[in-house]
Amino acid sequence: MQAARDGRPSDAWREKDLSSIKESYHDLEIKVTNYSKELPKIEGQIDILGALANTIECRDYGLIPKTHSSMPNVGVHRNNLI
């Protein structure tokens, strides 16, 4: 940093430093704003994962098969796909 004759930074350097600080602050504002917009989404996902975890714990891993049936035949044959 260049100093003026009295030992203080020159006006040009002060302006450059202020400009850099303003840019950094603006970038920080944008990042905080974006994070604030994403936070409710993240909280919602955490709530969903918590509910899913409770369901899995309470229902023996979430799988309660009522019947053991095969997949229904819908009229699509393997030979027709080739």
Helix/strand/coil (H/E/C) assignment for every residue in 7-65: CCECHHHHHHHHHHHHHHHHHHHHHHHHHHHHHHHHHHHHHHHHHHHHHHHHCCCCCCC
**Domain tally for the chain?**
1
What tens digit of pLDDT does each residue of 1-17 get? 455 566 677 888 888 89
Q: Which H or E run contains 80?
A: helix 78-81
Residue 50 lies in a domain: yes
Residue 74 lies in a domain: no
The whole-angstrom separation of Cα 32 and Cα 25 is 10
Quick check: 14 and 6 in contact, CB under 8 A?
Answer: no
Residue 82 lies in a domain: no
pTM, two decimals, is 0.44
Range(s) of the domain holding residue 42 = 11-62
Residue 41 lies in a domain: yes
Residue 16 lies in a domain: yes
What tens digit of pLDDT does each residue of 38-81 get? 999 999 999 999 998 888 777 755 455 565 566 666 665 555 55
